[in-house]
Structure 1
Amino acid sequence: MGKTAEHMNPIEQKKMCCVEEGEDPNAYMPDELQRNLMNRMSRIEGQVKGVKRMIDRNVYCDDILTQMSAVQSALHSVSRLLLESHINTCVMDRLENKDPEIVEEFMTTISKMIK
């Protein structure tokens, strides 16, 4: 029989909070979200390699900047998706369990994201 949330240490609780019932309790996020994020990151990796090739080929600066903007936009999109999931799972769960550290942790995360 698995541990209940009140019998887990904070690390175990953090791992469990984002995972849906029936999934790996040692995971931090649902499998579908992880696949989605990994697919998006693979596309972004391809975009970054494309920008690197453009620089190597000495392509017109404005074209490179346009592609770099697309990469940044794609990264922001991945961040928003992960942030939304984090809020709806981990943050909400820890708020419901009256975890006093979640607000400070979340505010630190938001501060880093908006720099």
Structure 2
Amino acid sequence: MSEKTKTHGKKSAVKQMHHHHGEHHDHPDHSIHLKRLHKVKGQIEGIEKMILDQRYCPDIINQVKAASAALRAVEAEIFKSHLRGCVKDAFSSKDPFAAEEKIQEVMKMVF
């Protein structure tokens, strides 16, 4: 189930509530990553301009690598948050179904 919540005035965010066998877990707030993602968006727009301007291939590739690295950093932080929050909570619940579900989620993300 999702419920809309207001944060920081005009911005709205969706807060996820996860229910597992009679228990609920608040979804972590990842809004801290929005600044970095906005920067990546700018990098991608810059890459598009470089392509349109027919810039030198290695220069374009270097910018793609920088944007990719920034996205990987966001991914790693969200993954860490998932492990420390969602996965830890599932294991603390002593619910073998919730724990197994999280194991399967992690396996899909890693492999």
Deviation track 1:43-91 (CA, whole Å, cap 9, x = no partner) reads 1000000000000000000100000000110010000010011100001
- Counterparts of 1:1-115 in structure 2, within 5 Å, are 9-10=19-20, 16-17=24-25, 19=26, 28-30=27-29, 34-97=30-93, 98=95, 99=98, 100-111=100-111
Residues 93 and 49 (structure 1), Cα distance of their counterparts in 2 relative to 1, 3 Å cut: same
TM-score (norm 1): 0.70
Kindly tell me: are residues 11 and 49 of structure 1, through their superposed partners in 2, closer, same or farther at Cα, counting changes over 3 Å? farther
Greater share of strand residues, 1 or 2? 2
**Quick one: which amino acid aligns to residue 102 of structure 2?**
I
CA shift at 1:35, angstroms?
2.4
Q: Displacement, 1:12?
A: 8.7
Q: How many residues are paired up?
A: 90
Q: Deviations over 1:11-51 (max 9, x none)?
A: 995xx53x4xxxxxxxx223xxx222111111100000000
Amino acid of the structure 2 residue aligned with 1:49: E
Which runs of 5 or more structure 2 residues have no equivalent in the other structure?
A: 1-17
Gaps of 5+ in 1: 1-7, 20-27
Identity of aligned residues (%): 26
C-alpha offsets along residues 84-105 of structure 1, whole Å, 9 cap, x if unaligned? 1110000100111132321112
Task: State the structure with bigger RCO (CA 8 A, min sep 6), 1 or 2.
Answer: 1
Please tell me the root mean square deviation across aligned C-alpha atoms, in Å. Answer: 2.1
